[in-house]
Chain A
C-alpha cells in the first residue's frame, strides 16, 4: 500500500512524539535506578528486555515494532498439543 506522506512530512509530524516518548523511557529507567533498592531488580528479566529493545530501536529497518513485540513474547512451542 503506497505511503500517503513523505518521510520528511512524517518526521515533522512525529518528532515531538518520538522525543517525548524517548525522554519518558529515560525518565522511567532513571526512576528505577535511583531508587534505594535497585539491586533487587538489577537482574530482572524485564530490564534485559528493555536493553534488547533499545538495541532494536538503534538499528535500521521497517519492522522494529514487530521485533519489539517478539522480545516481549513467549516462544511458540511446536507440537504443543501432544
Chain B
C-alpha cells in the first residue's frame, strides 16, 4: 500500500531510511522544522537549516523516488528565546515561495511558558498574513493536556484562522477530542515509548473515526522508527480493517489536507513511475 509520512525529520536520518521507507510504500514525506538537539545561536543557523530543508533534502528523497515537502518555523523549544525567534519569523518569508514549502510548522508549545505562547501567536500571525497552512506540535508527557488546551485557546482567539487549515499533531487519548471538536485536523505520532503505539493509534481510530486524522512516525535523532506508519498499517490489517479505510488514514487524508497549499505539487505514484519509465524508454 502506498502511504505518506506526514511528519518525519529526515535531516536526522540516513539515506538508507529513505530507501527502506520507499520499499515499504512511502511515496511522500512532509518534514517540519524542529529542534536539532541543541539551541542554534543565530538567525543564520536557521537560514542554513531552511536551505537544507528546501534544497538538499528534496534531492536526497528523490534518490529513492520519495517526494519531499517541508514546513518552516522556529520550534517551540527555541521559542523561549523571543529575540531570536522574532528574527527567524522575519526571515521565513525569504523561503515561502520555494517549491515544496507547504506551511508554517511545527509551531506550538513545549513547557507551556508565556514566551512560547507569545511566539506561537506571532507564528499564527505570519501564517495568516501569508495564507499558509499550520502544523502544530503539542507538548510532551505531563505538559501535553494543558498545552493542547492552551493552543486551542489561542487558535480560537484569532478569528482569521480556518480550522480545516490547521493540523494539531502528537494527539493521544486525552487530547484527540480537544483537537478535533473545534474542526481542526489532528495526527498521532507513533513512537516506541512515548506518544502513541500503533495499537493505541488503531484504538483511537476505532473510537473517534477516520475523518481529519492521520498517523506519522516523527522519526528524528531520538528513539523513533521511520517505518512506524507501515507498522500501523499492519496493525489495522491484523484487526480486519478494510484496505480502503487504512488507505484513507495513511494516504488520502494527508493528501486532502496538504492539497490546501498552493505549493503542494504532488505526483501520484503510478503516474510518477510511468513518467520515469517513459524517460527511460526515450533514452
Please list the residues of chain A having a beta carbon within 8 angstroms of any beta carbon in chain B. 1, 3-5, 13, 62-63, 65-66, 69-70, 72-77, 80-81
Contact = CB atoms under 8 A, between A and B. Distances in A.
A20 B207 CA distance: 25
B144 A73 contact: yes
Interface of B: 112, 117, 141-146, 149-150, 153-154, 172-174, 200, 203, 205-210, 238-241
Nearest to A62: B207
Chain A interface main SS type: loop
Contacts of B149: 76
B173 A74 contact: no
B150 A80 contact: yes
B240 A4 contact: yes
Nearest to A17: B199
Shortest beta-carbon contacts, A-B, top 7: A69-B174, A4-B240, A73-B145, A66-B173, A76-B149, A74-B146, A65-B173
Given A4-B239, A66-B174, A81-B150, 19 more contacts: A1-B210, A4-B241, A5-B239, A5-B240, A62-B207, A65-B200, A66-B173, A70-B145, A72-B141, A73-B142, A73-B145, A74-B143, A75-B146, A76-B149, A80-B146, A80-B153, A81-B117, A81-B153, A81-B154
